[in-house]
């Protein structure tokens, strides 16, 4: 297991650095008049030292290496708008995004697994058709449309002092509903695929009760394939974080990223992207470990 985790870490590290390097290069060259203000203070000193010693500007690769060295030291530069350190402003907003993202993600998965299994067990019944209809609506509806609908139904008609739902409930529902519906369909499909295998038919033919066969054989094997489907929807989930935080005015990284992008605050933009990339790879690594634990053949 530990060898598998180490191998995955070795695979993810160059991908993470490659992603941040692409973002760095794009922000360095477009537009060029702001590129010198992108760097952290340690990178600025490096540029000045190169100019004095060698008489020419360093390459973008050397600048990226020095920028990453500054990131590891906690030096993300200073905001072009407020002049405050980037690290202070960015990390002050991380807890709000983590609270929203993790709550929505866990709630959608915890609800999707039993309801998806219920739809598979009750295949072609009215329960299955109702669950499939709800899942189809959730997949088809854009996340911003769902958020606007919830605001119109639960926030606008009610006065601020009475009867409003908790401010955290609507954003988490908006963010998690799409993942919940996508996982519903995936769990149902994987459950039906596993339950139709020959070894399940043989186990039931030998007298194993249906519920025991489901708990002992079907659940474990269907979870692994459902986690693979979860990984494919993870990018849409991170995009939804930005939309939901901006729509509901939450003080998280997503809303902050949109605001500073409109203001062309380049140090803040690249810092927010680095945070999102790190979170994305951490969740991917967690899914890999969970798959290896459920199905050791994958490791």
- Kindly state whether residues 23 and 108 are assigned to the same domain: no
Same-domain status, 10 and 119: no
The candidate with the shortest Cα–Cα distance to 15, out of 295, 288, 294, is: 288
Residue 153, pLDDT score: 79
- Note whether 41 and 77 are within 8 A (CB): yes
On whether residue 251 sits in a domain, the answer given is yes
In this model, does residue 52 exceed pLDDT 50?
no
Q: Give the residue-averaged pLDDT of 51-63.
A: 62
Tell whether 188 is covered by a domain: yes
**pLDDT > 90: percent of the chain:** 0
In tens, the pLDDT along 274-290 reads: 888 888 888 888 887 77
What DSSP string runs through 188-244?
HHHHHHHHTSHHHHHHHHTT--HHHHIIIIIHHHHHHHHHHHHHHTHHHHHHHHHHH
Mean pLDDT, all residues of the chain: 76
pLDDT of residue 263: 83
The reply to whether 247 and 201 lie within a common domain is yes
Quickly state the pLDDT bin for 47 (edges 50, 70, 90).
Answer: low
Residues 6+ apart with CB under 8 A from 172: 100, 103, 104, 107
Same domain, 68 and 120: no
Same structural domain for residues 135 and 231? Answer: yes
Task: Indicate which CATH number applies to the domain containing 113.
Answer: 1.10.3720.10
What average pLDDT does this structure show over 171-188? 87
Residue 63's domain comprises 2-72
Percent of the chain with pLDDT over 70: 74
Whether 299 is in a domain gets the answer no
**Token output for 61:** 């690769």
Shared-domain flag, residues 153 and 224: yes
DSSP E strands, 132-243:
none
- 143 lies in some domain: yes
- Whether 124 and 67 map to the same domain: the answer is no
Instruction: Please indicate, yes or no, if residue 80 is contained in any of the structural domains.
Output: no
- Residues 63, 105: one domain? no
Per-residue model confidence (pLDDT) at position 211: 56
Higher pLDDT, 109 or 158: 109
Q: Answer whether residue 78 is part of any domain.
A: no
List CB contacts of 108: < 8 A, sequence separation 6 or more: 176, 177, 179, 180, 183
* Assigned domain for 22 exists: yes
Asked if 96 and 52 sit in the same domain, the reply is: no
Question: Quick check: is 79 in a domain?
Answer: no
Domain boundary at 72, 99, 123, which?
72
DSSP helix/strand/coil, 129: helix
pLDDT of residue 200: 61
Q: 113 with 206, same domain?
A: yes
Higher-confidence position of 58 and 102: 102
Domain boundary among 72, 97, 124: 72
pLDDT-derived band at 158, boundaries 50, 70, 90 = low
The answer, yes or no, to whether residue 165 has pLDDT greater than 60, is no
Domain boundary among 48, 72, 96: 72
Q: What is the pLDDT of residues 181-225, one digit of tens each?
A: 888 888 888 877 777 666 666 655 655 545 555 555 566 666 777
Q: Is there a single domain that holds both residue 43 and residue 97?
A: no
Q: How many separate domains does the chain show?
A: 2
Asked whether residue 26 falls in the same domain as residue 168, the answer is: no
What's the confidence (pLDDT) of residue 161? 45
pLDDT, one tens digit per residue, over 74-113 is 777 778 778 788 888 888 888 888 888 888 888 888 888 8
Higher pLDDT, 55 or 293: 293
Q: 2-43, pLDDT tens digit by residue?
A: 777 777 778 778 888 888 888 888 877 766 544 445 555 555
Q: With bands split at pLDDT 50, 70 and 90, how would you rate the model's confidence at 138?
A: confident
């Amino acid at each position: 297991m530990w060898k598998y985790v180490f191998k995955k870490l070795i695979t993810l590290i160059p991908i993470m650095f490659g992603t941040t390097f692409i973002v760095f290069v794009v922000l360095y060259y477009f537009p060029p008049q702001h590129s010198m203000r992108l760097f952290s203070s340690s990178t600025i000193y490096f540029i000045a030292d190169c100019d004095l010693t060698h008489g020419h500007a360093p390459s973008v690769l050397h600048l990226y290496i020095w920028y990453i060295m500054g990131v590891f030291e906690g030096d993300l530069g200073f905001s072009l708008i407020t002049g405050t350190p980037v690290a202070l402003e960015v990390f002050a907003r991380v807890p709000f995004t983590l609270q929203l993202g993790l709550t929505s993600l866990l709630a959608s998965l915890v609800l999707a697994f039993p309801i998806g299994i219920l739809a598979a067990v009750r295949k072609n019944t009215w329960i299955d058709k109702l669950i499939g209809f709800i899942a189809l609506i959730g997949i088809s509806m854009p996340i911003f449309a769902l958020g606007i609908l919830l605001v119109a139904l639960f926030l606008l008609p009610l006065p601020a002092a009475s009867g409003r739902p908790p401010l955290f409930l609507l954003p988490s529902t908006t963010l998690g509903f799409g993942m919940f519906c996508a996982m519903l369909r995936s769990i149902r499909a994987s459950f039906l695929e596993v339950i139709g295998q020959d070894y399940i038919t043989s186990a039931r033919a030998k007298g194993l009760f249906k519920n025991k066969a489901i708990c002992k054989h079907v659940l474990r094997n269907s979870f692994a394939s459902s986690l693979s489907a979860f990984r494919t929807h993870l990018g849409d989930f991170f995009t939804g974080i930005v939309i939901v935080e901006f729509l509901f005015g939450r003080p998280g990284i997503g809303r902050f990223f949109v605001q500073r992008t409109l203001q062309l605050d380049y140090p803040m933009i690249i810092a927010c992207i680095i945070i999102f990339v790190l979170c994305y790879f951490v969740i991917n690594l967690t899914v890999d470990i969970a798959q290896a634990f459920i199905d050791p053949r994958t490791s």
